[in-house]
Structure 1
Amino acid sequence: MTDLATAVIDRGTLDDRTRRVREAAQRIRLNALAMGEVQGQGYVGQALGAADMLAAVYVDQLRYRADDPHWDERDRFLLSTGHYAIGLYAALAEAGIVPMEELESYGSDDSRLPMSGMASYTPGMEISGGSLGHGLTVAVGMALGQRHLGRDSRIINFLSDGELNEGSTWEAAMGAASHRLGNLIALVDMNALQADGPTANVMSIEPVEAKWASFGWNAMRVDGNDPRAVLQAFDQVGRRDPVGPPSVLVCDTVVGKGVELLEQREKNHFMRIEEHEWQICRDQLIARYEGAAR
């Protein structure tokens, strides 16, 4: 569990950091499965696919205070894809911002952890999600605001490949480059899937990295399920010149990562998982993790 902002000051070697992120990502995945089991369904596949990115952000990159989510000097993590909230809740618990035992209330009446992220309910949730394509526009405003206040806070915006179908995303991308928001980082989850089917079949968005670069962004493409690669990409971005170009990490991921049963499921955007399958998912996740650790 990360303590306040110390991890971004003295993070240790890349091997140490990679180990911590990999371990945290495994806990995020296990907790996402536990939350999904409460409802018997949900966006579990997205949480599993994004776990390595979320772990890298909260364990290694983000400056925050667990006991003061509204600390003025904090970095901001914006979840544009509100339906990924199940994964973010697990990351917030890993960070100590949300009590671990509260995860059991996921999606229940009067819970602070609704199925789609709501900033008014959840500590550490910077924006409400739901209608896709809005996160980057808000992130641009926040980045401008932090610079105006003379702070070196970073704004990290998580968005999906499906959001690249939205015109507002590209307007925000153009605005961020025009204002030279070097304090803004976008993480694009390239899981190749959206509600209506494979992203490529709905609307082709490639070449994604080249498109961001053409808008004036510092663009890199990495394996979003490789903690070491994600950390190396963040290291290249660093705390860049606040009036330099914004940065984007285009992260290729697999929906349901770590659980073969879910990786191979044809319809895995919103999953209904049978009662007997939850333990199978946990067993496969643990076996995959232990196998990779050997």
Structure 2
Amino acid sequence: MASTTHPETPTTPAPSQPDYETQDLAAIEAHLKDRAQFIRTETVRLIEIAKTGHYSSVFSAAEIFAALYYDVMNLYPEEPNHPDRDRFTIGKGHAAVGMYPILADLGYFPMSDLDNYAHLGSAFGDHPDMTKIPGIDFSSGSIGHALSNGIGMALAGRMAGRNFTVFTMIGDGELQEGQVWEAALFAAHHKLDRIVTIIDRNGYQLDGNVDEVMGVEPIAEKWRSFGWRVLEVDGHDVMAVREMLIECHDREPDGIPTCIIAKTLKGKGVQHMEEEPGWHLGYLTPADAERAVREILNDNGDNK
């Protein structure tokens, strides 16, 4: 697990991190819910700097990001390329605006580095760049490539005799990409059990409802038929997400890759964005951004 050492005071300061070794579940839950709110409010702040961005794609994944980065993954902020670190690749890279504040919060770089987010000359763009940003393992762009890259990392880790886990997040619209299924076949064939794929099943993509654009169901049955273990979870129940990810991370080798289908709400936390495809990409006026932050902070983290 990473240590939350803050080089500079974040916009939304983190509470004292609970002692995860003591398994104080109430404190862990409070901390993870707080960090999910932090991810959402920082996303609003950064998009206000950039003047456009993908609010709702971050909001559907905030609890997953929080559980992964603050609890589940073994990270080394002081040595970002540590060979034994767990890896994370993201196909829906337009949600990277929600990842950057986490990395700053964990001590990979100062929070002030984000003050020119998406401006000319900034290392931090709409999609993450692994050559410029500490803590980023995969440079995304066109969707469909994250799983292949993650599987390559898992295979390389096994060949090197290392035991790190590779987590990959892909959007449900991304399942329309043929490369995803080629990668799924490869992982099962090579018995890569250190790859965990998380599908953000929020139901929407840029062009509208995923199942209306090009249906992807039955998702679970398809992945099982490709030789994967399939688990399903409420993607906004942060403790259920945490428990499932820990189970995947700590599972004894069995030669079976794992797919988690996380049922989420596009735009979760800001009511007028929820399940509204027009907010896949957009911009809040400063007054609307203030209202959105207040709404996020008034959300107690329970699923709706």
Q: State if a TM-score over 0.5 links the two structures.
A: yes
Secondary structure of the residue that 1:66 maps to in structure 2? coil
Deviation, 1:8, is 11
> How big is the shift at 1:88?
1.3
Distance of 1:22 and 1:106 partners within structure 2: 25
Structure 1 unmatched ranges of 5 or more: none
**Hey, what does 2:29 align to over in structure 1?**
18
8 Å contact 1:119–1:127 — kept in the other structure? yes
Q: Is the 8 A contact 1:137 1:169 kept in 2?
A: yes
Equivalent in 213, 233, 239 of residue 222 of structure 1: 233
| Aligned match of 2:43 | 32
Q: Residues 7 and 59 of structure 1 are in contact (CA less than 8 Å); yes or no, is this contact kept in structure 2?
A: no
Q: Superposed, which structure 2 residues align to 1:114-133 within 5 Å?
A: 114-133=125-144
**Superposed counterparts of 1:247-266, under 5 Å:** 247-263=258-274, 265-266=276-277
Whether the 8 Å contact between 1:81 and 1:132 is mirrored in structure 2 is yes
Amino acid in structure 2 at the alignment position of 1:251: A
* Deviation for aligned residue 1:193: 0.8
| Residue among 104, 110, 120 paired with 1:99 | 110
Could you tell me the percent identity over the aligned residues?
Answer: 32
**Residue matched to 2:76:** 65
Structure 2 distance, partners of 1:140, 1:275, is 41
Structure 1 residue 9: Cα displacement: 7.7
Tell me the equivalent position of 1:135: 146
Conserved? CA contact 1:192–1:200, under 8 Å: yes
2:290 aligns with 279
> In structure 2, how many angstroms separate the alpha carbons of the residues matched to 1:7 and 1:286?
20
Moved more, 143-152 or 116-125: 116-125
Q: Following TM superposition, by how much is the alpha carbon of 1:115 offset from its aligned partner in structure 2, in angstroms?
A: 1.4
CA–CA distance in structure 1, aligned partners of residues 231 and 59 of structure 2: 22
Distance 2:77 2:104 in 1: 10
What residue in structure 1 maps to residue 189 of structure 2?
178
Counterpart-to-counterpart distance in 1, 2:78 and 2:22: 21
SS in 2 for 1:248: strand
Alpha carbons 1:82, 1:130 under 8 Å: kept: yes
Q: Following the alignment from structure 2 to structure 1, what is the Cα–Cα distance between the partners of residues 20 and 87?
A: 17
> 1:213 matched to which residue of 2?
224
Residue number in structure 1 paired with 2:245: 234
Report the Cα distance in structure 1 between the residues aligned to 2:275 and 2:146, rounded to whole angstroms. 30
Q: TM-score, normalised on structure 2?
A: 0.89
Aligned to 1:3: 3
CA contact (8 A) 1:26 1:289 kept: no
Report the alpha carbon displacement of residue 249 of structure 1 after superposing the two structures with TM: 1.1
What SS does the aligned partner of 2:261 have? strand
RMSD: 2.3
Compute the displacement of 1:210 (Å): 1.8
Please name the residue that 2:210 is paired with.
199
What whole-Å deviation, never above 9, does each CA across 1:135-168 have from its counterpart, x for those lacking one? Answer: 1111111100001111110001111101110111
Please give the alpha-carbon distance, in whole angstroms, between the structure 2 residues aligned to 1:168 and 1:7: 40
Shift of 1:179: 0.9
Where in structure 2 are there 5+ consecutive unaligned residues?
Answer: 5-16
Distance in 2, matches of 1:266 and 1:240, equals 37
Q: Distance in 2 between matches of 1:8 and 1:70?
A: 25
CA distances 1:20-53 after superposition (whole Å, capped 9, x unpaired):
2111111111111110111222011111211100
- 1:191-216 Cα offsets, whole Å, 9 max, x none, are 11111111001111112122111211
Contact conserved, 2:265 with 2:275, CA < 8 A, in 1? Answer: no
Question: Is contact 1:41-1:270 (8 Å) kept?
Answer: yes
| Separation of aligned partners in 2, 1:137 and 1:222 | 23
Separation (CA, whole Å) in 1 of partners of 2:122 and 2:267: 25
C-alpha separation in 1, matches of 2:249 and 2:158: 17
Moved beyond 6 Å, runs of 4+? 6-9
* Corresponding position of 2:8: none
Question: 2 CA distance for matches of 1:112 and 1:170?
Answer: 32
2:96 corresponds to: 85
